[in-house]
Amino acid sequence: MRIDKFLNVVNIVKRRAISEDMCKSGVVSINGAVSKPAKELKIGDKISIKFLKETVNYEVLDFPTTKSIPKNEQEKYVKKL
């Protein structure tokens, strides 16, 4: 699954366009390397997002099969490190 789509589907960002812009501006990294929006994720990848005041790290656990998931099911797909 693409990184920009994954961030949107698991409710880390609200819209896919925002996650795409974040990737293009270089604030999203996968396993330590700056990511493009179309980068494919694998289970076990580490995602790092640099916000203004902090950096948030996640680990990919699984991929959702639906277009969106409820916010309370987020921990099934991504773990905050």
Q: How far is CA 22 from CA 16, 30, 70, 78, 79, in A?
A: 10, 13, 23, 18, 20
pTM value is 0.89
pLDDT in tens, the chain (81 residues): 999 999 999 999 999 999 999 999 999 999 999 999 999 999 999 999 998 999 999 999 999 988 888 988 889 999 999
pLDDT at 66: 87
Buried b (16+ CB within 10 A) or exposed e, 38-48: ebebeeebebb
Q: What's 70's DSSP letter?
A: -
Question: How many structural domains are present in the chain?
Answer: 1
Name the residue range of residue 69's domain: 3-80
- Contact, 30 vs 3, CB < 8 A? yes
Residue 18 tokens read as: 């925002």
Q: Identify the CATH number of the domain in which residue 38 sits.
A: 3.10.290.10
pLDDT at 68: 84
